[in-house]
Structure 1
């Protein structure tokens, strides 16, 4: 009895540790989504919410059974509920795969998920066994994720455009496929040893029933990878935002300098026109000439005829004692240097 209690305590602590880990991932993914606006983190956040609900549901179920609470617990209903959780999580897995492939979700991606759900329901309804169903359910669901990983690699080889995160995505999918395969092997080992009566084997099977070592080890590795990747993307997003902010400040500074230069040049033009006793219209035309405007452009801007513009320019040339625009510019530059 004491040994069973120790086992139960270990399982409870084990489950709580995973719930804490999942909460950490959700917190990191939520913040990364706000910073980067990358839907990948949104799907990760939802997926780990489902994993927490599933883990809490399983934990509560085991606790109620262990304490003999007297509640009317239907085991088949429990496993069917976990099928529903897998269906929701499977939809998020599919969306994550599509996001990593940078393409729309394909109906074929749902094939392994739907197949697992159907097989799972059939097993729970017609072949339920208190000691075998939990291992069957875990193994068949991990097999579905393994097939989804194969689909990812098939479509990844066909894509032409590569993204900067493809290398990381490929590694994550490879790790996922590896641990899902190991989880399936664990299930095979469990069923192979199930009929052995050795005390040591039965003790091992009792742990294998409630703990999927490969699946749980994968959850830890995946969680740490997500946290690391989220931190990397946050750093990149923060650096980009800082660069945008600095560029905005630089643009504001350059605009301010330009405004000061324009104001300074305008005051110099005013002084130049006053020095050479230009009329108001001559001053307006001179300002446009200094900007490089042609006669037709000056006429259009001031709503006067080209002939009038030529007449005023002739008057300006006469006052400055020049006969070309280049000479006019030279006189103005000398005036600026003197001032």
Structure 2
């Protein structure tokens, strides 16, 4: 029991730390994908707390198992939360919005998990309830894999490929484990209902997702730490310039990329924005700087730079598209 207690605590710590990184990144960058990741991880924590209670509080376990057989509201909410936020995250990585097909799948998933518990109590009923969620996870893997065919930044493609492999692999492993546990370990007799609520495969899946996120966040921090003093000074100078002209946070991010000679499409790809939104931000920047084209940005910023103690030279480029 001590081992299970420690295992649960470590899982919650892992999920919480990963969620803290995601929240911190969202507060800094205001990137929607980090908010979605934070909410997705919150459901990991919620699910593990419920499972933890079924393992250590017998009265709660009995009432939870009985409720699960008739109206598994808690588990359905957890599954729906995971489904919605996971498919939303993948859509963001693919630079697209959720389609009617996705909403149809989510509605179908919810209807299935509400309808199946109406069947007569049996191991098969429970197996059907869980099966549709693993089919949805398999679909997420296919959705990620198909995203590799799109014209996306290499970073997005790299993570879509990782997620595709993870989702496809674990959708199969979880079904295999569920099938064995439900039909050979759990008890669904008229006198006794005892369900082993923890899935080791699901735990490994969630741990793997957290490790992938840890890699992403640590890689980002390392890139920032390895930046040269000149790059750090440039970043500070840009922030001062943007503050002086009352840019919003998003306009500041767009302006930094304009200074690096990125096109509107490249800015949209990097910031996970639509091309139209980027054009709006660029237009607002032009108005605040009282200019009409992006070639005027560089002399304007150089004049500002010359009036400050920092001596930094902007990289020249003839590509202003």
**Matching residue of 1:219:** 206
* 1:237-285 deviations in Å (ceiling 9; x for gaps): 675765322567895552369xxxxxxxxxxxxxxxxxxxxxxxxxxxx
**Matching residue of 2:169:** 178
Structure 1 residue 213 displacement after superposition:
2.1
Indicate conservation of the 8 Å contact 1:142/1:180, yes or no: yes
Indicate conservation of the 8 Å contact 1:26/1:44, yes or no: yes
Distance in 2, Cα, partners of 1:68 & 1:187: 19
**Matching residue of 1:45:** 38
TM normalised by structure 1 equals: 0.58
Structure 1 residue 23 displacement after superposition:
0.8
Of 90-99 and 136-145, more deviation after overlay is shown by 136-145
**Matching residue of 1:267:** none
CA distance 1:71–1:116, shift in 2 (3 Å): closer
Structure 1 residue 215 displacement after superposition:
1.6
Indicate conservation of the 8 Å contact 2:90/2:160, yes or no: no
CA distance 1:232–1:127, shift in 2 (3 Å): farther
**Matching residue of 1:86:** 79
Distance in 2, Cα, partners of 1:72 & 1:225: 33
Which of 125, 135, 144 is the matching residue for 1:152? 144
Distance in 2, Cα, partners of 1:95 & 1:225: 17
Structure 1 residue 95 displacement after superposition:
0.8
User: How many residues are treated as equivalent by the alignment?
Assistant: 238
CA distance 1:134–1:61, shift in 2 (3 Å): farther
CA distance 1:62–1:79, shift in 2 (3 Å): farther
Q: Secondary structure at the match of 2:72?
A: helix
Q: Which runs of 5+ in 1 are unaligned?
A: 1-5, 196-205, 258-339
Distance in 1, Cα, partners of 2:143 & 2:130: 20
Q: Which runs of 5+ in 2 are unaligned?
A: 187-193, 241-300, 310-321
Q: Secondary structure at the match of 1:128?
A: coil
Which structure's residues are more often helix, by fraction? 1
**Matching residue of 2:19:** 26
Structure 1 residue 220 displacement after superposition:
1.0
Q: Secondary structure at the match of 1:164?
A: helix
Of 87-96 and 168-177, more deviation after overlay is shown by 168-177
Largest Rg, 1 or 2: 1
Indicate conservation of the 8 Å contact 2:36/2:88, yes or no: yes
Q: Secondary structure at the match of 1:105?
A: coil
* 1:117-164 deviations in Å (ceiling 9; x for gaps): 3222222222434x666665444322211112213323442x234443
Distance in 2, Cα, partners of 1:127 & 1:155: 41
Structure 1 residue 177 displacement after superposition:
1.7
Indicate conservation of the 8 Å contact 2:112/2:129, yes or no: no
**Matching residue of 2:97:** 104
Q: Secondary structure at the match of 2:106?
A: helix
CA distance 1:255–1:53, shift in 2 (3 Å): same
Structure 1 residue 73 displacement after superposition:
6.4
Indicate conservation of the 8 Å contact 1:33/1:42, yes or no: yes
Indicate conservation of the 8 Å contact 1:140/1:184, yes or no: no
CA distance 1:143–1:256, shift in 2 (3 Å): closer
Considering only aligned residues, what root-mean-square deviation do their CA atoms show, in Å?
Answer: 3.7
Structure 1 residue 17 displacement after superposition:
2.5
CA distance 1:68–1:180, shift in 2 (3 Å): closer
